[in-house]
Amino acid sequence: MANVLVVAEARGGALKKVAFEATTAARTIADASGGQVHAVLVGAPGIAAEASKLGATGADVVHVCEHPALEQFDAEVLAATVAAAAGATAARAIVVGGTAMGQDIAPRVAAKLGVGVAADATEVTMDGDAIVIRHPMATGKVIATLAASGPVAVITVRPGALAVGTEARAGTVQSLAPALDPAASRVKVTKLTTGGGGKLDLAEAPVVVSGGRGLKAPENFKLVEELADAFGNAAVGATRAVTDDGWRPHSDQIGQTGRQVAPNLYVAVGISGAIQHVAGMRNSKTIVAINKDKDAPIFKVADYGIVGDVFEIVPKFTEMVKAARAQR
Ligand SMILES: Cc1cc2nc3c(=O)[nH]c(=O)nc-3n(C[C@H](O)[C@H](O)[C@H](O)COP(=O)(O)OP(=O)(O)OC[C@H]3O[C@@H](n4cnc5c(N)ncnc54)[C@H](O)[C@@H]3O)c2cc1C
C-alpha cells in the first residue's frame, strides 16, 4: 500500500488550480496500490476552509497547518513540514505543482529525504511498482520517460498539463503543526508582487491570448488585451521579443525561458513561433494563430491558422467573441 503526499499550493487564502492537478497525479499513484492521498495545506488561519475542495478532487486526508506567520510562502518551514509529513504518512511519493513555489520547495524536500526530484511531469502513470513520469525536454522536441523505483519520489507537475479529478474522497481534516517555528524563520517574505495587474494568472487561465512583435508597437497590445477581455476568462501573454523590448513585463513571457502554459485555448497574435516560444505553449489544448506570413512556424503547431494582418483580424475576432458570449 503506497500513500502519496500532495503539497496543496494556496495563495491569498485560496487553493491554486495546480493543487487539484497534483492531487489527480497523486490519486493515480495511490490507486495503483490501494494507498491514500494525503494533502498538506499550509497558510494563515482560515485556510482550513479550502480543505473540502481537496477532498472533492481526490484527497483522502487533508493535513491543515495554520499559522499567522504563514500567510506568505515560507520555503524553509514548508519544506520541513512536508518532509515531516512525508515520514508520518509513509509517503511513497510527494507531488508538488511545478510553480515558482513548487520549484523552490521540491528540491529542499528531496534533499531532506535524501532522494531525487522528477521535475516538470506532464503525465504520471504506474507500471507495476514503478511510478512513470513523462516530461518534455529540448524545448518539447523530446519526451523523456522516467521510472521512479526508489523508496520515495518527489515529483513536480507542470501547471495545466493534467486534468482535475472529479472522484471525491473523504478529505478528512487533521491539524498539522509546522515542523519549524515560522516566527523564527531565517527568511521573511515582506511583500508579494504579482504580475498581470491582478488579472488572471497565466498558469491558471483557461484562455491565454499572447502577442508578438507582429503588433509593431507597445500601444497596439491593446488589441490583445481587448480580445482577452472579450473572452472574460483570459490572461495576456507575450513573446520574449516583446518583453525584452519592454512592451510587456517579463512576468508575461511565455516560452523556454518564461512561463509554461497549457490552457484550453491559446491565441497567438503576430507571433512567429520560434521553438523557444513554442516550448512554453505547445501543450495548449487548442491553438489559434494569426500571422500574415503563411509559412510562419507557428502554423505548424496551430490547430486553426488565420493568415492575415492582425490589425484587421483581431478587432473582428474580438467582436465575434463578444457577440458569441452575448448570445449565451
Ligand atoms: C536562449 C533563448 C531563449 C529564448 N526564450 C524565449 C522564450 O522563452 N519565449 C519566447 O517567446 N522567445 C524566446 N526566445 C526568442 C525567440 O527565439 C524568438 O526570437 C521570439 O520568440 C520571437 O518573438 P516574436 O514571434 O514576437 O517576433 P518575430 O520572430 O519577429 O515574429 C513576428 C511575427 O509577426 C508576424 N507579423 C508581422 N506583422 C504582422 C501583421 N501586421 N499581422 C500579422 N502578423 C504579422 C511576422 O510574420 C512574424 O512571424 C529565446 C531565444 C533564445 C536564444
> 130 with 260, same domain?
no
Mutual angle of helices 222-231 and 310-326, in 10-degree steps? 20
- Residue 61: closest CA among 90, 43, 40, 42: 40
> 163 with 245, same domain?
no
Kindly give the distance from the C-alpha atom of residue 319 to the centroid of ligand 1, in angstroms, as a whole number.
26
Q: Is 261 within a domain?
A: yes
* 180: CATH: 3.40.50.620
Q: Which structural domain, as residue segments, surrounds residue 45?
A: 3-184
> 22 with 59, same domain?
yes
> 55 with 109, same domain?
yes
Kindly give the distance from the C-alpha atom of residue 101 to the centroid of ligand 1, in angstroms, as a whole number.
28
Smallest CA separation from ligand 1 atom 40, residue = 309
> 277 with 165, same domain?
no
Residue of 272, 309, 313 with the most ligand 1 atoms within 8 Å of its CB, for mutation: 272
> 211 with 164, same domain?
no
**pLDDT score at 252:** 94
Q: Is 191 within a domain?
A: no
> 320 with 236, same domain?
yes
Q: Is 61 within a domain?
A: yes
Smallest CA separation from ligand 1 atom 19, residue = 241
Smallest CA separation from ligand 1 atom 42, residue = 309
End-to-end CA distance of the chain: 48
Pocket flag, ligand 1, residue 250 (CB < 6 Å): no
Kindly give the distance from the C-alpha atom of residue 195 to the centroid of ligand 1, in angstroms, as a whole number.
21
Q: Pairing relation of β-strands 123-127 and 37-43?
A: unpaired
Boundary of a domain, candidates 184, 218, 246:
184
Q: Is 96 within a domain?
A: yes
> 253 with 108, same domain?
no
Retrieve residue 165's grid coordinates.
Answer: 479529478
> 31 with 171, same domain?
yes
Ligand 1 atom nearest 272 alpha carbon: 49
* 285: CATH: 3.40.50.1220
Pocket flag, ligand 1, residue 241 (CB < 6 Å): yes
Q: Is 201 within a domain?
A: yes
**pLDDT score at 150:** 80
- Residue 55: closest CA among 189, 170, 133: 170
Q: Is the full-model pTM beyond 0.85?
A: no
Q: Answer yes or no: are the C-beta atoms of 150 and 130 closer than 8 Å.
A: no
Phi/psi region, residue 160 (left: phi>0; alpha: psi -120 to 50; beta: rest), is left
Q: How far apart are CA 52 and CA 70, in angstroms?
A: 20
Pocket flag, ligand 1, residue 214 (CB < 6 Å): yes
Ligand 1 atom nearest 242 alpha carbon: 26
> 158 with 224, same domain?
no
**pLDDT score at 183:** 84
> 219 with 322, same domain?
yes
Kindly give the distance from the C-alpha atom of residue 318 to the centroid of ligand 1, in angstroms, as a whole number.
23
Kindly give the distance from the C-alpha atom of residue 140 to the centroid of ligand 1, in angstroms, as a whole number.
17
> 202 with 247, same domain?
yes
Boundary of a domain, candidates 159, 184, 209:
184
Q: Answer yes or no: are the C-beta atoms of 128 and 149 closer than 8 Å.
A: no
Kindly give the distance from the C-alpha atom of residue 144 to the centroid of ligand 1, in angstroms, as a whole number.
26
Pocket flag, ligand 1, residue 293 (CB < 6 Å): yes
List of residues 6+ apart from 59 with CB closer than 8 A: 6, 8, 23, 26, 37, 38, 39, 169, 171
In angstroms and rounded to an integer, the radius of gyration of the C-alpha atoms of the chain is 21
Pocket flag, ligand 1, residue 242 (CB < 6 Å): yes
Task: Give, for all 328 residues of the chain, the pLDDT tens digit.
Answer: 789 999 999 988 999 999 999 999 999 999 998 999 999 999 999 999 999 999 999 999 999 999 998 988 899 999 999 999 999 999 999 999 999 899 999 999 999 999 999 999 999 999 988 999 999 888 778 899 999 878 899 999 998 889 898 889 999 999 999 999 988 888 888 887 766 555 788 888 999 999 999 999 999 999 999 999 999 999 999 999 999 999 999 999 999 999 989 899 999 999 999 999 999 999 899 999 999 999 999 999 999 999 999 999 999 999 999 999 998 8
**pLDDT score at 192:** 76
Pocket flag, ligand 1, residue 129 (CB < 6 Å): no
Boundary of a domain, candidates 132, 157, 184:
184
Q: Is 190 within a domain?
A: no
- The count of structural domains within the chain is 2
